[in-house]
Each structure stands twice: as C-alpha cells, then as structure tokens.
Structure 1
Amino acid sequence: MLMHGHRELLQTAVLLNGRLIDFYMEQSESSGLVGNVYKGRVVNVLPGMQAAFVDIGLGKNAFLYIDDLLHPHLEKQPEQKPSITELVKSGQELVVQVMKEPMGSKGARVTTHFTLPGRWLVYMPIAGYVGVSKKILTESERSRIRMIGERLRLEEEGIIMRTAAEGECEESLGADVEQLRQLWKSVEQRAAAAKAPAELHREAGLLRRAVRDTLTDDMDEVWLDDASRYSEAAALIQEMTPHLSDRLKVFDARKEKSSLFDRFRVTEQLEAAFQNRIRLECGGSLVWDETEALTVIDVNTAKYTGATDLEDTVFKTNMEAADEIARLLRIRDVGGIIVIDFIDMENESNREKVMARLSDWAKRDRTKCTVFGWTRLGLLELTRRKARDNAARQLNERCPACGGTGKKTTVNS
C-alpha cells in the first residue's frame, strides 16, 4: 500500500505484484461525509415519494427514504409500509447518518440505520441481529464468530463480523464492541444536548480508514511519503495491528529523486485507467463512458485476431475484459448501474464463464457489487454501491470548451 500526502490531499494506492488494484483519495481528512452522524430537522415530508428532506447543516437538504426509517431488521418491519407521514413530521428533530455524499445537484442521502465500523466488526445500536461477512467461507468459523457476536451484543444491538474477524479471539472482538458501544453512547449524549442542525460524530479520515480496512497480514509493505503524517500512521498501526508495525516505511522523494507514485509506476497506471479507451494486453480494448448514474462499457477485439477460430478469439478477449473491468471499477470507484457490451458469443457455456468470472471478482470487491446477468440484447448488467463521488470526477476537470463531451458544435451561418 502506498500513501501519498501533499498538504490537504491524501491518496492511497494498493498494488498486487506491481499492478494497481485499488485507489482512494480525499482532499482533506475532514472532507468525507459518509458515516458522519448529524442531528437534523425535518424540513419537508413528501408522501408521494415516501421520503423526507432533512436539514443537517450542509447547505443542501439531505434525502431520507422511508426504508431508512423502518427497523433495519427485515423480520421486524411491518408487512405493509406505512405512509412516511406517520413516521416523521415537518419541524421534527431527528438523528441521522450520511450513507451517500452529495453529488451534483443532489443532497446527501441519510439513514436512521446507524453503523459504526471497527477493526474487526461493525456495530449497529438498533439492528437486533448478528451478521457474518460472506467472504468468510468456512462454515465452522462462521458459526464460531456468530456465536461470539450473540454473546457480545446487548438487547437491540446488532453486529456484523467483518472479514478481518476470521480467526480472532473473543477478547479482541469484545474490546471492539465495547469501544464502539461507548462511542455510540457519546453520540447519544451529544444529541440530547445539541440544537439541530448539528454534527454529532465524524467518521474517520482516509488515513485511519486505510489502516483499519485495508492493512492486513498479507500486505508486505506500507510506504508513506508524507513525514507530517508518519507519526499518525505509525500510531494507528500500533493501535490496530501492532504486529505489522515494521512494515511501515518512509519514502524520501528528494533522496530517491522520484515521487512515490512514479517510483512504483502508479502515475502511469492511473493515467491509463482513467482514459475513455483502455487497451487490453491481448490487443483488444474497452470503450468507457460514464453519466451521473450509468456507466456503459463496450468491449472490442481491436487488434487481437486470435490463433484458432472466431469464438475462441472472442471468448479470450471477453475473459480478459472481465478481469480488467473488475479492476477498473475499483480503481475508478464507479457506482450505480453498469452495463457491459461484451463481444457476442455463440457458445452459451462461454457466456456463463464470462459472467462467472465477473461475479467472482464482485465477491472480492470491498464495495457491494451485484451481477444481475444477461439482458435480451446480450448486455451484462450489474450494480455497484455508490457512496462517494468517484475518483474520475475528483481527478478530472470538465473542459469548458466542450462541456466534457469531447466534441464542439460548429454552426455555419
């Protein structure tokens, strides 16, 4: 993992065998809103949309949908949804948590399903159940940590055991729960005293999240090029994973006569990853186009002619494209609806293999990603959870001449 800091900016990149597989960035440690908890005031209730707008002090009112007001445990929800007017009224004060940042003209989306992430688990003060990460595959281990969770939770509390909880002892998991429980109590105390709108809790910045969520035993090295952040990073690693403290290393750009990202070829990989046309190693290519809520990806054979027959050429191109698309979705942090136009395949088993490959990658994605399958037109549909503005919009500046279309209309009169 590489962490590049410059003033307010922090960028983190994760490499596997020298190849970029994850990329995150924040303009400042206080810029992220997802996970923040606010005491807000209901400004408007819209029964026709089953939603309400809540002033949480961000300028634009936040959007609260009825599903985010009902009990988070499905078994405890009513068989038929009530009208949102029965749950909230204009002027009512409400504690909410940001689940999606403001994007474009839209305000933040908020929820009353509170979640506080720790190193090993996620604490939910009112969920009433224990969940286990689907990435923990051993049934005996799933049962073990589920039973620990049941012993640790109190009354209406809920716990989701993260992938990192696999193999951890009850003492470590219990300490995580108690820390988060006390954090929630402090949020409740601030809520009782605060006047809406007010911020009650701020989620950890990118540096802490990177150490908490990304640093694992199988990570060989962590390089940091910002001396001002080194002591903070070292303290975080000592707090969460002290046995990995020796893996943190300082990169001196002046001594190396190169930037951290240039030294590990991250810069050139990022430049290639954010192009509209991406070349595949086999000679094929991807054409990538994004709107606010929809991403369309077209797969082409381009210069790849294969070695045996057309079906084999198409299949190999599509399989490589599936691998590359999965990687780029993570690097670009794409969210929303994604439609992929793979090259047409005659063999149904080949179609199933391409979908299975993409589904396998989706399971490894730390952001929830769901592959729905093929449409009648032969397009593959999937969705990926969208919580923050993606990296492309943060890195790229819209061209004032063409407005981002890449074309300029000329009218002869």
Structure 2
Amino acid sequence: MKKLKMSNLQIVAAGYFLVVLTGTLLLMLPVATVDGADTSLLDALFTAVSASCVTGLVVQDTGTHWTLFGQLVILALIQIGGLGFMTISLSFLMLTRKKIGLRHREVMVESINSSQIGGVVRLTRKILIVTAVVEGIGALLLSLRFVPQYGTAKGLYFGVFHSISAFCNAGFDLMGNYDSIVAYSADPLVNFTLMGLITIGGLGFLVWEDLWQKKWRLHRLRLQSKIVLSASFLLTVGGGLVLLLLEANNLNVGMDSGERILTALFQSCTARTAGFNSVDPAAMTGGSKLVMMTLMFIGGSPGSTAGGIKTTTIVVILMYTLAGIRHERSANIFGRSLGDDELHKAVYVFFVNLLFVLCGTTVICALQNLQLTDVLFEAFSAMGTVGITTGITRDLIPASQLVIIFLMYCGRVGSISFAVALMERKATPPVTMPSERINIG
C-alpha cells in the first residue's frame, strides 16, 4: 500500500474488491454447486458482491443451488462484509500478535466511521466480542424453532446461518424457492429474534460503545447515539404503523390482529437494509412499496452492518429544513446545534445515492421492458444494500445485472466513504472565485 501510495479510502474500496474477487473464484468451483456444474462468472460475481456488500439479492437460490461449501463461502463473505474487512484484518493481526501500525489504525477509523484514532484497537476487540455474543444468542433462539423442524445438525446450522445473516443485515436465507421467511410470518420467536439481530447490527459499533460506557443512561449519551436511537425507533414503529394501515385491505386480509402487527413491524424493520421478507413484496400496494423504498434508502446508522444513506444523514437534512422554515439561525436537536460541515456531508450523501438510484433505474428500463415500480424498487434495494425484491432479480439480463452489481458495491463502499472523501482536508486555493446571488425556490 505504501508503494502504491493509496489513500485510506482507496484501501477500503480495494479491500472490498479483493474480497469480492476471492468469493467469486470460490463460488465458481464445481464443489460449490449442488449438481457439481460450474457456476457462470456473472452469477458467481453477483452472489459474491451481494454477500460481501450484505445485500441479499440473489440470482440463484441460496438453499438449493449451493452446497455446504458454497453456503459457507457466502456466510464468510457476509461476516466480512458486515463487520468490514478492516475489522477482520485487524483481528487477524491481534490474533497473530503482529504490530498494528498507525496506517492500519487510520484505515480502521474510516472503515467504521469513527471520529478518533485513539482506542480503535480496543474498540475492535469490543466489536468482535459483542458480535460473537449477539450472533450466538440469536443462533440459539432460532435453533429452538429450527432443530425440531430440521433435526439437530441442520437446525443448528440454520440457526447460525440466519443469525449471522440477520445481524450483518444481509438477508440471505436457506429456506429455498426464494421464499425468505414467509413460512414463519406468524411466528413470534423467529420474527422478534431476527428483528432484534437486525436492529442491534444496524445501530452501529460506536453506539454500542457509548451505551456500554454510559451504562445505558440515555440522557448521558453522545448526540450521535441519541439521534441514532431515536430515529431507529421512529422509523421502525412509524413505518410499521403506515404499512399496517396501507395493507389493511390487501395482504392483511385473513390475518388476525397479532399477525398483522407482527408482519408490519417485521417488514418495516427488515426494509432498513436487512432484506428478509415475511410477505411477498410484489403483492404489496403501491403505497407500501413507496414506504419500503423510503426505508431502504435511509437504511441503518453510521459504522454499522447496515447500508443506506444512514439515519443521521436524514435527521440532519430534516433539522436544517425545519430550521429554515422557522427562520432559525441554526439547526438544534437534543440541546445541541448542528454544524455546517454535517449539513454539507448529509446533502452530498443524499443526492449522490439518489442520483445513482435514478441513473441505474433509467439504464435498466432502457435495457429491458420491465415495470418502472419494480425496477425502482430493485435499484433502491441494491443501493441501500437491502436485498428485498419484487421478483425481477432473476429476470435481469447480464447488462442489467451489472448495473445492480455496481449499485450494490457503491452502496456498501460509497455509503462508508463518500462523505469522508468529500470533506478531506485540502489546501485552500490561492484564488477564490467572485460570488453572485441567485434566486432559490
């Protein structure tokens, strides 16, 4: 890296590329598929990108197309993609007792969206411990349902696989026939366990540490933690309530009140970049699809296993909008004012992600005769690294698949680094262009 003179952001992007390349080559091996046939380069690439970018969109059913070897490769890619390859790299260095240099620490800081380099190694240890504990508890809870159904060995394996997939907000499943967890739509144990894993993974590593240090005293948390927790709660509950109302005369017909609430909450939670679905998204109303796309676009929180533009981004934009409407001089929240740098980063991330989605949608619509709503849904799902689909993923031609691959990669790498790259300190230009006022609005 020193010889190539790569920046920290370039190292992050290159790291994910190498992970994708390795996963693609492994998935192309005959031992990775059930029938022993070679998987095409494009199918292997699509699956590797989807797994390492913790998205969940698939062109081959995970439970029926891939062997145990192939599934374990996918699971490894999910874990690396969820925690970040720098977290895994730093963990390897710690296990082998190798020296962790300043450059490693700098890249790790940008990889997890931290604001300070001090204590990053200690934070990495906490990330690994929390991940192991949470995924382990999730696996045990899910095994309580899967072991009686599939037997001890397969049930435990299903528990581990789906626990890691949920915690990393990946959305890959082994149920077969591309059905996700539709068969468990009324099962509280499976639904609440997955929602818990998705939520914890989507809060972010820095929020975990803040909660731990402040001993769960919410009033003492840092501003970012307060915003993340508040926004996550409002998006999940608010989104669930809207979906409950919109699907009252559609998917909810025939369900009892408990199943209706459970289904709405789960879809609201999983839309924020997890990718599981307990109902058929294609059968949803147009309004519900719009709500799902909004939730997918926002996603999780900074430094988490989730994608999207992040909860802090949308909160900053909303706060500045409200401040402008009220003619206030600054945007305030929880007794603190937001700086202009935060607004610049938020606007940049918002519009770059939205531009990619619109461009990707336009290209796919130009290539194929598909419903605009379905293509837009797919593009939001890919850019937000969500994985929910209305069913068109398998109908995409190679060129359209490459567009989705690009969106998934940018959604994972870009959501981490776009804002940081823009705000990197650069030398002040010696000449500033003259300003001139224009009319806005």
Relative to the length of structure 2, the TM-score reads 0.21
Relative to the length of structure 1, the TM-score reads 0.22
